[in-house]
């Protein structure tokens, strides 16, 4: 694929099911600082049945959003519920600057959220603050290394070769930034 191949511009939204729109609102607005920018109360014929639901959107600075559905009918809620098995390898990573990460960390502590629902990892190329939301979704707030552009260019040059090496069984780390 060439660099001129058209590709998506940005994330528009990523959607999940919530059992509690208000707990979700408090977490995203009050703790994380992402404003509620839209609430859609809707009724549609979806997948063979009329379904009534509430769809909320919490904004990121670039205009994209995290969105949450809650259904009026408990049977619909159970049918579409997002099941999350706890795993640090399934998460949404959001870019932040150091000041924003520090403020989010402070609000997380003030909200009484502690380990294992929050932790920090130093990846070398970035430092990440992780927190689990009220729905079981793991969020990562990432501060890039000051030299991130150069690091990304280095990884881009060898990305295919690095993948081929790993797939061939050579699992030696190529992260020299830790």
Residue 84: the pLDDT is 73
**151 CB-near residues (< 8 Å, 6+ apart):** 125, 145, 177
Q: Mean pLDDT score of the chain, rounded to an integer?
A: 92
Provide mean pLDDT across the span 105-118: 95
Question: How many angstroms separate the Cα of 134 from the Cα of each of 16, 17, 92, 146?
Answer: 12, 11, 14, 32
pLDDT digits (tens, 9 = 90+) for 76-111: 999 998 777 767 788 999 999 999 999 999 999 999
Distance, in Å, from the CA atom of 65 to the CA atom of 56, rounded to the nearest integer, reads 9
* Residue-range domain boundaries for the chain: 1-83
User: What's the pLDDT band for 1 if we cut at 50, 70, 90?
Assistant: low
> Whole-prediction pTM value?
0.85
> Residue 41 pLDDT > 90, yes or no?
yes
Give the whole-angstrom CA distance, residue 56 versus residue 166: 41
CATH number for the domain formed by residue range(s) 1-83: 3.10.180.10
Express the helix, strand and coil content of the chain in percent, nearest 5 each.
Answer: 30, 30, 40
- 3-class state of residue 124 by DSSP: coil
Question: Could you tell me if 62 and 51 are in contact, meaning their C-beta atoms sit under 8 angstroms apart?
Answer: no
């Amino acid at each position: 694929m060439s660099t001129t191949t058209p590709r998506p511009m940005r994330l528009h939204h990523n959607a999940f099911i919530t059992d509690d729109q208000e707990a979700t609102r408090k977490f995203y607005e009050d703790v994380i600082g992402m404003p509620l920018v839209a609430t859609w109360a809707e009724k549609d014929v979806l997948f063979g049945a009329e379904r009534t639901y509430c769809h909320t959107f919490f904004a990121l600075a670039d205009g994209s959003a995290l969105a949450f559905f809650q259904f009026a009918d408990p049977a619909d809620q159970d049918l579409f519920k997002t099941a999350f098995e706890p795993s640090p390898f399934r998460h949404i990573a959001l870019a932040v600057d150091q000041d924003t990460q520090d403020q989010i960390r402070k609000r997380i502590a003030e909200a009484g959220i502690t380990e294992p629902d929050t932790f920090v990892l130093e990846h070398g190329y970035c430092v990440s603050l992780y927190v689990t939301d009220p729905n079981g979704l793991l969020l990562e707030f990432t501060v890039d290394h000051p030299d991130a552009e150069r690091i990304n260019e280095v990884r881009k040059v060898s990305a295919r070769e690095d993948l081929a090496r790993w797939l061939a069984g050579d699992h030696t780390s190529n992260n020299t930034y830790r």
